[in-house]
Amino acid sequence: MGLTMEQNYKVSPYRWVILGATMLVNMTIQVLWIAYSPITSSAASYYGVSEMAVGFFAMSFMIAFIPLSIPASWLIDRYGYALTVGAASVAVGLLGVARGAAGQHFARAMVATCGIAAAQPFLLNSWTKIPAAWFPARERATAVGLITIASILGTAIGLVLSPILASSMNIAQVQMVYGAAASVAALVFVLVAKEKPRLPPDESACSERAFMVEGLKHALKTPSFVRFLAIVFVGMGIFNGVTTWVEGIVRPRGINPDQAGILGAIMLVGGILGAAIIPIFSDKAAKRKPYIILGLTGAIPGLIGLALAPEFGLLAISAFVLGFFLIAVNPVGMQYAAEAARPTPEGTSNGLVTLAGQISVLLVYAMEAISNLTGTFTASLIIVAVLLGASALLATRLKENGA
């Protein structure tokens, strides 16, 4: 009997192919999201609009995500990620090309961008769905960590490559290059995607899931899951706030824009390492809570360093520490949320977590508002450091089983 049960589960090596394709489409959509940010002034001149208008290329992703997150999660859970993520990836590729083909027509480029933004929830809300189907429980946080790394790399590629490309081609041609890359990524995903392996990787992969409405109710009635949503709001708000306002944060200390960009890159490098290392320990220990607490508390010194460090070297160390610990919370926390909310479908729980992260833009704006009152971001950073400490205390009340 034991032998028969053991034969009902098998960890397929094809899981790495599925994961690689998922990483690729998530990487390319991040490139499309951030593509205009490092070339805002050039794009404004090219399209004949204000820099604020160019900013809406990136802001449209946040605006679209808030109303579309829950419907996207329902479609993922109802029809599977192979179909929904595949269709969304194809749309992203085609619309990315269309954005390039728009030339200097700002309105056409914006319409294409809004279409890309509408497809984004399908990619982001599947982060835990795919590992749940293909990976054993002991590897799932690691799998989500690798998707996180791909997403960060996409952001870094867009930040670094856009100015380089824009120096030798016009803005529309830059977008055409990115659209072509997204189309190739979509083709790869469509060709290799399978909904699930012939045999599940372990018992948890074949456990019954609730329907979406019941799943939503269950998740929002689970105290630990709701507490984690509050933690996500603070953590993502801090990450987005620091990346958005990094130049303004360090300018009063004599740091120029190029150095500010380097600090942002250092934070992302730290995040890549943290997202690669900490989830492995979480999976090996089969524990999530201690590593969530570790990430939150470990990020506090980095945040305080960014607020108070007087020179570039200390700022660089602070940025690395902040990125290493804070970004590492994401993959471990995503997997924790999926486990805590069961039998809520992974697409639904993932969608709620990502939605909480998107709403954290309120914290980003609050940081700027406080800086306008005080003249620097120091007070803002100290306040959010206190919020991060409160989040770490809240994390001590999380239950491994989601109670």
pLDDT digits (tens, 9 = 90+) for 358-374: 888 888 888 888 988 99
Query: Worst-scoring range by mean pLDDT, 214-223, 229-238, 278-287, 323-332?
Result: 214-223
* Structure confidence at residue 212 (pLDDT): 56
Distances (CA, A) of 342 to 74, 217, 220, 332: 15, 11, 11, 16
Domain co-membership, 95 together with 22: yes
Domain co-membership, 274 together with 182: no
Mean pLDDT of the chain: 88
Alpha carbon distance 172, 269 (integer Å): 29
Domain co-membership, 176 together with 295: no
Alpha carbon distance 289, 294 (integer Å): 9
Residue 88 lies in a domain: yes
Instruction: Pull the structure tokens for residue 209.
Output: 């899931």
CA angle 251, 149, 285 (to 5 degrees): 115
Domain co-membership, 248 together with 351: yes
Q: Inform me whether the pLDDT recorded for 376 exceeds 70.
A: yes
Domain co-membership, 65 together with 213: no
Confidence of residue 208 (pLDDT cuts 50, 70, 90): very low
* Structure confidence at residue 55 (pLDDT): 80
Q: Which runs of consecutive H residues, i.e. helices, occur in 221-309?
A: 223-250, 257-285, 289-308
**CATH for 341:** 1.20.1250.20
Residue 45 lies in a domain: yes
pLDDT digits (tens, 9 = 90+) for 223-237: 999 999 999 999 998
- Helix, strand, coil % over all residues of the chain, rounded to 5: 80, 0, 20
Residue 335 lies in a domain: yes
Q: Inform me whether the pLDDT recorded for 258 exceeds 80.
A: no
Instruction: Pull the structure tokens for residue 41.
Output: 């002034």
Residue 201 lies in a domain: no
Domain co-membership, 187 together with 213: no
Residue 6 lies in a domain: no
Alpha carbon distance 41, 261 (integer Å): 16
Domain co-membership, 178 together with 250: no
Number of domains the chain is built from? 2
Domain co-membership, 258 together with 161: no
Residue 83 lies in a domain: yes
Alpha carbon distance 348, 162 (integer Å): 34
pLDDT digits (tens, 9 = 90+) for 310-354: 999 999 999 999 999 999 898 899 889 988 888 887 777 878 888
Domain boundary among 147, 162, 192: 192
Domain co-membership, 158 together with 29: yes
pTM of the predicted structure, to 2 decimals: 0.79
Q: Inform me whether the pLDDT recorded for 69 exceeds 60.
A: yes
Domain co-membership, 179 together with 249: no
pLDDT digits (tens, 9 = 90+) for 82-127: 999 999 999 999 999 999 999 999 999 999 999 999 999 999 988 8
Alpha carbon distance 153, 119 (integer Å): 20
User: pLDDT above 70 covers what percent of the chain?
Assistant: 95
Note down the domain range covering 69. 13-192
Alpha carbon distance 29, 151 (integer Å): 8
Domain co-membership, 314 together with 372: yes
The helix-helix angle for 361-374 and 223-250 (nearest 10°) equals 40
Burial category of 261 from C-beta neighbours within 10 Å (exposed 0-12, middle 13-18, buried 19 and up): middle
Domain co-membership, 224 together with 162: no
pLDDT digits (tens, 9 = 90+) for 123-156: 998 888 888 889 988 888 888 889 988 998 998 8
DSSP annotation string for 16-37: HHHHHHHHHHHHHHHHHHHTTG
Residue 400 lies in a domain: no
Domain boundary among 162, 192, 222: 192
Residue 4 lies in a domain: no
Q: Inform me whether the pLDDT recorded for 194 exceeds 50.
A: yes
Alpha carbon distance 144, 4 (integer Å): 31
Domain boundary among 126, 157, 192: 192
